[in-house]
């Protein structure tokens, strides 16, 4: 269960505090998928940062499966990000000096040996259609292939929450459709929650629940 209660976020600015999120609340049960739309600058990435344990809210409470990451020590917060959250960004953020297989395995290096990680990485890369690209470097992949590798990396530690920020923003229509198919079939399986921010009404429409971020709060379409 993901729960946000009265989340506000302010950034300091020379003109005074800039309030981006304003008493925002949200409940999502395990197994749900949600899309968030809204104009540039309305706070979508800010909200994903809070959900991902990257930036604390100014006020309000966030819990994922009963735990509030912002009450944790810095070490425990880093472990939360590593094990509980899978990120897929608009820019795939693959490490250029690592192969596809090594990129997918990278999250497993933060903790002690993860049994079966290599086999799971190969299986995920097979599922995203990259079985013949394991030894390629990111520069040797198409945009859609990079994004599919990023999805495999996001899923390697089987996180309960996957956060996507414009995952299809840089892709042509056919690649965007295949990335969306993967997110919905692979990421959104079992008990996992998948949230995507997007400017694409087509992508948003494929998720169970549709929200628009307006005046710092989420509205249901």
Ligand X SMILES: Nc1ncnc2c1ncn2[C@@H]1O[C@H](COP(=O)(O)OP(=O)(O)OP(=O)(O)O)[C@@H](O)[C@H]1O
Binding residues for ligand X, per CB under 6 A?
Answer: 11, 18, 20, 38, 40-46
Q: Is 196 in the site for Mg ion (CB under 5 A)?
A: no
Up-side HSE of residue 35: CA atoms within 13 Å toward CB?
A: 21
Instruction: Report what 40 binds from ligand X, Mg ion, none; CB cut-off 5-8 Å by kind.
Output: ligand X
Q: Based on CB atoms, which residue is closest to Mg ion, 45 or 175?
A: 45
Helix/strand/coil (H, E, C) string of 155-207? HCCCCCEEEEECCCCCCCHHHHHHHHHHHHHHHCCCCCEEEEECCCHHHHHCC
For 187, phi and psi rounded to 5 degrees? -65, -40
The DSSP bridge pattern shows strands 2-11 and 161-165 to be: unpaired
- Give the C-alpha separation, 50 to 203, whole Å: 22
Minimum distance, C-beta of residue 201 to ligand X, in the bound complex (Å): 14
Instruction: Report what 11 binds from ligand X, Mg ion, none; CB cut-off 5-8 Å by kind.
Output: ligand X
Minimum distance, C-beta of residue 202 to Mg ion, in the bound complex (Å): 18
Up-side HSE of residue 111: CA atoms within 13 Å toward CB?
A: 15
Q: Which residues, numbered 105-164, are part of the site for Mg ion (CB under 5 A)?
A: none
Q: Which residues, numbered 45-84, are part of the site for Mg ion (CB under 5 A)?
A: 45
Q: Based on CB atoms, which residue is closest to ligand X, 48 or 100?
A: 48
Among 140, 153, 142, smallest CA distance to 102 is for: 153
Question: How many whole angstroms from its chain centre is CA 37?
Answer: 15
Minimum distance, C-beta of residue 211 to Mg ion, in the bound complex (Å): 15
Instruction: Report what 163 binds from ligand X, Mg ion, none; CB cut-off 5-8 Å by kind.
Output: none
Minimum distance, C-beta of residue 85 to ligand X, in the bound complex (Å): 17
Q: Which residues, numbered 28-47, are part of the site for Mg ion (CB under 5 A)?
A: 45
Using alpha carbons only, what angle is made at residue 46 by residues 41 and 48, rounded to the nearest 5 degrees?
Answer: 125
Minimum distance, C-beta of residue 55 to ligand X, in the bound complex (Å): 8
Where do contacts with Mg ion occur on this chain (CB under 5 A)?
45
């Amino acid at each position: 269960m993901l729960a946000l209660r009265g989340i506000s976020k302010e950034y300091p600015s020379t003109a005074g505090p800039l309030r981006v999120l304003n008493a925002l609340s949200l409940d999502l049960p395990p197994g749900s998928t949600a899309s968030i739309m809204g104009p540039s600058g309305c706070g979508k990435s800010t909200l994903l940062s809070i959900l991902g344990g990257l930036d604390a809210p100014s006020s309000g409470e966030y819990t994922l499966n009963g735990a509030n990451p912002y009450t944790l020590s810095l070490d425990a917060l880093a472990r939360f990000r590593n094990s509980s959250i899978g990120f897929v960004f608009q820019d795939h953020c693959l490490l250029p000096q690592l192969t596809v297989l090594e990129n997918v395995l990278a999250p497993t290096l933060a903790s002690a040996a993860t049994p079966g990680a290599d086999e799971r990485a190969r299986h995920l890369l097979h599922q995203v259609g990259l079985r013949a690209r394991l030894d390629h470097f990111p520069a040797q992949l198409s945009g859609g292939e990079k994004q599919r590798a990023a999805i495999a990396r996001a899923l390697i530690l089987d996180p309960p929450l996957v956060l996507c920020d414009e995952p299809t923003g840089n892709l042509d229509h056919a690649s965007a459709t295949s990335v969306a198919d993967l997110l919905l079939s692979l990421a959104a399986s079992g008990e996992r929650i998948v949230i995507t921010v997007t400017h694409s009404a087509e992508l948003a429409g494929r998720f169970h629940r549709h929200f628009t971020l307006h005046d710092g709060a989420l509205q249901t379409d």
